Chains A and B, each alone.
Chain A
Amino acid sequence: MNHRLIAACALAAFAAPLAAQPADPIAARQAIMKQNGRDTGAGAKMLKGEVPYDPASAMVIFKNMNDSVKKFGALFPKGSETGGDTEAAPAVWTKPAEFKAALMKFEADTKAAMAAKPATLDAFKAQFITVTGNCKSCHEGFRIKKN
């Protein structure tokens, strides 16, 4: 009985990280990036005045991005360097510390934006510009356009 329990625990311990690993990490990370794009677009619409500023929507945007980046780092396992139209640069794997630092900065900036609870459009704008500045700074070194 005890042995069985130990075996089950051991199995669970191994299975947990496996379960966190989606079958298709390339598709999963591309889906996250698409979501980031939708969130950025929603924020830009408010900045441009195409839709009125709504503090609750602003929080959703930053929350979504914060959720995204927490999942993102685990989606670059060995073997996912190529295939599936990935635009991930080799630097993701050759400079892992820099890549991790870039992700941590995005996570920290989105967290700070949520904590700031921007009530006005101007307050939102300041946070949004800091947060979305991460897009290009990370894409500069860690993404390669294929077409």
Chain B
Amino acid sequence: MRRALIGLLVVVLAGGGLFWGLTIPDRLAPDQIGSLAGADATRGARIFWAGGCASCHAAAGAKGDDRLRLGGGAPLVTPFGSFRAPNISPDTAHGIGGWSLADFANAMQRGVDPEGRHLYPAFPYGSYQRMTKGDVADLYAWLRTLPPVAVTAPGNDLKFPFTLRRGIGLWKRLFLGDAGPVVTLPASASSAARAGQYLVEGPGHCGECHTPRGLNGLGALDRTHWLAGAASPEGKGKNPNITPAKAGIGSWSEAEIAEYLATGFTPDYDSVGGAMVEVQANMAKLTDADRVAIAAYLKAVPAVEPVGK
């Protein structure tokens, strides 16, 4: 009996130790972090809009300069519970004003906060890990120029077992994927398509919503259906297929895709809707060259028919 108990204790401790070991947060190596010396806030603004930061971190429905007040935003309501984007304004007490560039880069590209806690992947660090260290440093410099917002953003409201933050370590091991390119573009791909690949797969994080995930949304992005459309993470409707398939946007020209990103109108003058309204407002802040690059990449990715057809 006593031996059995000791045996059980050993198994539990070993299991716990194994779980602990497997979920230790991974951090960037020093040489993977950029330098503040060369960082430029103006270049960072471009990354800010490409990355869509304001859509989750500014107040819901914010317009104009209020989109630069990053005190936390509307909840992202999912089957796992409600995620709340935190205050990332430069306020020292309520925001991330006390964070170093290394703290910021580890949050952006490893999903780990300065206290060593895993961040929920509703924050799309799976895509952001593809960003260059220079772009991360520029973005950091830009965020430092924004107004501090002295409010405490509400916390997440999640269902068990998603409340167990440490478990995200296992999720990362199983599902996060690496920082390499998702699509292998043909050697003949234009430089615009390559620039677009970086914007789409990295800061733009388009795949997070336009690509289906395994395990009913809990698992990894299904790269065999990259950008082929997916159920909305918020559980209503569908995010469309944006590959050059018949069921996607194969009939749109490159210029029409760029035009849509600039104005929100499709080639037949239907308009952008739903969560994409925010995204398009961000894309409208980019240059024509960046929008054309995104369009070139979207024409170059494999055409995929939608899941279930």
Contact = CB atoms under 8 A, between A and B. Distances in A.
Interface of A: 33, 37-38, 40-41, 44, 87, 89-90, 132, 135-137, 139-140, 143-147
Interface of B: 229, 236-240, 247, 264-265, 268-274, 277-278, 280, 306
Contact of A37 (B236, B237, B240, B270): B270
17 contacts: A44-B265, A44-B269, A135-B264, A135-B265, A136-B264, A136-B271, A136-B272, A136-B277, A136-B280, A139-B271, A139-B274, A140-B277, A144-B236, A144-B237, A145-B273, A147-B238, A147-B240
A136 B268 contact: no
A44 B263 CA distance: 11
A147 B278 CA distance: 19
Residue from B236, B271, B277, B278 with most neighbouring chain A CB atoms (10 Å): B271
SS class, residues of chain B in contact with chain A: loop
A38 B269 CA distance: 7
Contacts of A41: 268-269
B274 A143 contact: yes
Contacts of B269: 37-38, 40-41, 44
A145 B306 CA distance: 15
Chain A interface mostly: helix
A145 B240 contact: yes
Nearest to B266: A37
Nearest to B268: A37
B24 to A, nearest CB: 41
Given A146-B237, A147-B238, A147-B240, A140 B268 contact: no
Contacts of A137: 277
List 3 A-B pairs, minimum CB-CB distance, nearest first: A139-B273, A135-B271, A144-B237
Contacts of B272: 136, 139
Contacts of A87: 237
Contacts of A132: 265, 271
A125 to B, nearest CB: 12
A124 B268 CA distance: 20
A142 to B, nearest CB: 8
A110 to B, nearest CB: 15
A38 B272 CA distance: 16
Given A144-B236, A146-B238, A147-B238, 14 more contacts: A33-B270, A44-B269, A89-B236, A135-B264, A135-B271, A136-B264, A136-B271, A136-B277, A137-B277, A139-B274, A140-B274, A143-B273, A145-B273, A147-B247
Nearest to B264: A136
Contacts of A140: 273-274, 277-278
A143 B236 CA distance: 10
Contacts of A38: 269
Nearest to B239: A145
A33 B238 CA distance: 20
Nearest to B273: A139
A111 B268 CA distance: 24
A90 B271 CA distance: 19
Contacts of B277: 136-137, 139-140
B274 A145 contact: yes
Given A37-B268, A40-B265, A136 B240 contact: no
Contacts of A144: 236-237, 273-274
Contacts of B239: 145
Contacts of B236: 89-90, 144
Contacts of A40: 265, 269, 271
A91 B278 CA distance: 18
A90 B236 CA distance: 10
B75 to A, nearest CB: 15
